[in-house]
Structure formats: structure tokens, C-alpha cells
């Protein structure tokens, strides 16, 4: 199911030019395969009007395909500093282990353990020395496997759909504010840039004369960990309480925006 995702990332890692739009469109077949073979369906969002639309299978398929493609792409965006994406994925696994749901299947734990130690094997070489890298292929693949795993976990345990949203709140917020920033800056939403939150933290550390490149990577990775990990714990603790999950999601967005505006330079939203 994840073959299209991995292949498009691997091709890009080989320095073969692929437009951002083409890459995004190639992610959709993987999302559809996951829907068809693995049953990663979107059944509701516990929002009355939108939930009505999920009665139509076409809407459900379109929603899950674009949602999965978007979050897979978001994982690749996070892969901008040594250990950043890897620690986020490890944190997702760890938060589930700390607050396991009562009806979780043994098969899911095998899946979780396989992902955790596969990531850990790369993490110890990547962070902070950068002796090995995920590349786009690895980032896309992790985005697919972790997200699909979370969707199945929510389905098996009959959790709130907002559980998955809050578990992925960091990459979702990063993409959301990236799109918003590009709109007001009149810049293409598909082109890469270096104005994400982790870039701002990195630049601020550089500005205060922290000379070591490795130390800056360490500080950026652990700074973001401190920001998102409490919300991962909250997602698992309140996994069936939609109202609390929605509130925590809103708090994260407000905090993210507040931190972003503090770190952003005065002329940040204007193209030079």
C-alpha cells in the first residue's frame, strides 16, 4: 500500500526533479490502497453537518485520500533537522505505551514495536551527528505507516476521531500555518521554504551565538518535543472525550501561533 509513497520519495532522493504538485498527487494512490485493503476509513468527525456527508462513500473516500496525502506530505516537511521527525514518531509510540487502551489487540502492539525499534535504529545514527538520513522516501514512508497505524488504533478501540487529529497536531499545525503564511505573503503553497517553526527556533539559536551546528540541532529537536509531547499524552489520556480533545487542539494552535509570532522577524510575512 505504501509503495507509491516510498517510490516517489526515493526518486526525489535520487535528485530526479519532480514538481511538488506531482509528488502530492502520487501520494493519493497509496491513500486509496490503504482505504481499500486496510480499511482506513473516515466515518465521522463528530461535527453534525460534515458527519452527514460521510454517509456517501464517495465523500468518505475523497476525504481520507486527501487527508492521508496531506499528512504524509506534512511528515516530510518536518524532516528538516536531525532527529526532528524521528523523535516525533518515537513520541507517538511512547505515548500510546504509557496510556494503552484496554481493548488494544496484540497485533497492533507488534506493529507498534516494529515501528518503534526501526525508527530507534535510525535515530541513534541520525541524531545529532547526521550519519544517516531518512530522505524523502523514509519520511513519506513513516508518514504513511504511523498515520495508518493511528487510524486503525482509533477504529479498533472506538476512540474519538479527534484522537488522531490531536496525535498529529504538530505536523498538521505546521502545514496549516505554512499555507496561511504563504497566502498572506503571496507565495506558492507548493514550493518549499525555510520559515517553519523549527527553522525559526534554529535561526534564533544561531542569533544568540550558539556556534555548534550539532548543538543547535539538539536544542531544536528537544524544544519541539517539549511543545508537542504533553499534547500526545493528553490525546491518549482523553482518547474518547471529543470535547476535551477539541479544546486541547485549539490550545495547541493558539500556543503554536503565539510562539511563531514571537520568533518571527518583523518583516517575516513580506516577500523581499
For the stretch 138-155, pLDDT in tens is 999 999 999 999 999 998
Of the segments 50-59, 97-106, 201-210, 235-244, which one has the largest average pLDDT value? Answer: 235-244
The answer to whether the CB of 54 falls within 8 A of the CB of 60 is yes
Question: Where does 195-241 have alpha helices with state H?
Answer: 197-207, 213-237
- Cell numbers describing residue 220: 531544536
- Which of 190, 192, 186 is closest to 21 using CA atoms? 190
More confident residue, 80 or 1: 1
Q: What is the pLDDT of residue 104?
A: 63
Residue 25 CA to its chain's centroid (Å): 18
Q: Which residues of 105-122 are buried (b: 16+ CB within 10 A; e: fewer)?
A: eeebeebbeebbeebeeb
**Is the bond preceding 128 in cis, omega lying within 30 degrees of 0?**
yes
The cell 498515520 sits on which residue?
A: 147
Q: What is the pLDDT of residue 272?
A: 41
Question: How many whole angstroms separate alpha carbon 19 and alpha carbon 23?
Answer: 6
Question: How many whole angstroms separate alpha carbon 21 and alpha carbon 192?
Answer: 12
pLDDT at position 269 over 60: no
Amino acid at each position: 500500500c505504501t509503495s507509491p509513497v516510498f517510490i516517489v520519495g526515493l526518486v526525489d532522493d535520487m535528485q530526479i526533479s519532480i514538481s511538488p504538485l506531482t509528488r502530492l498527487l502520487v501520494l493519493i494512490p497509496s491513500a486509496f490502497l490503504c482505504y481499500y485493503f486496510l480499511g482506513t476509513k473516515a466515518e465521522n468527525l463528530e461535527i453534525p453537518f460534515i458527519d452527514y456527508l460521510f454517509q456517501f462513500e464517495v465523500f468518505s473516500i475523497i476525504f481520507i485520500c486527501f487527508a492521508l496525502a496531506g499528512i504524509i506530505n506534512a511528515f516530510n516537511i518536518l524532516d528538516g533537522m536531525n532527529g526532528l521527525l524521528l523523535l516525533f514518531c518515537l513520541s507517538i509510540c511512547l505515548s500510546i505505551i504509557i496510556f494503552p487502551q484496554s481493548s488494544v489487540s496484540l497485533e497492533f502492539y507488534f506493529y507498534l514495536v516494529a515501528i518503534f525499534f526501526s525508527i530507534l535504529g535510525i535515530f541513534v545514527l541520525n541524531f545529532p551527528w547526521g550519519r544517516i538520513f531518512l530522505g524523502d522516501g523514509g519520511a513519506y514512508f513513516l508518514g504513511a505507516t504511523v498515520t495508518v497505524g493511528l487510524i486503525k488504533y482509533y477504529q479498533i478501540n472506538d476512540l474519538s476521531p479527534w484522537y488522531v487529529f490531536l496525535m498529529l497536531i504538530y505536523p498538521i499545525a505546521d502545514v496549516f500555518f505554512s499555507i496561511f503564511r504563504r497566502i498572506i505573503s503571496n507565495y506558492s503553497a507548493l514550493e518549499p521554504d525555510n520559515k517553519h517553526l523549527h527553522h525559526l527556533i534554529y535561526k534564533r539559536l544561531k542569533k544568540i551565538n550558539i556556534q555548534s551546528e550539532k548543538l543547535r540541532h539538539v536544542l531544536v529537536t528537544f524544544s519541539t518535543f517539549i511543545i508537542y509531547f504533553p499534547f500526545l499524552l493528553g490525546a491518549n489520556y482523553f482518547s474518547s472525550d471529543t470535547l476535551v480533545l477539541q479544546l486541547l487542539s485549539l490550545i495547541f494552535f493558539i500556543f503554536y501561533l503565539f510562539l511563531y509570532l514571537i520568533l518571527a522577524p518583523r518583516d517575516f510575512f513580506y516577500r523581499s
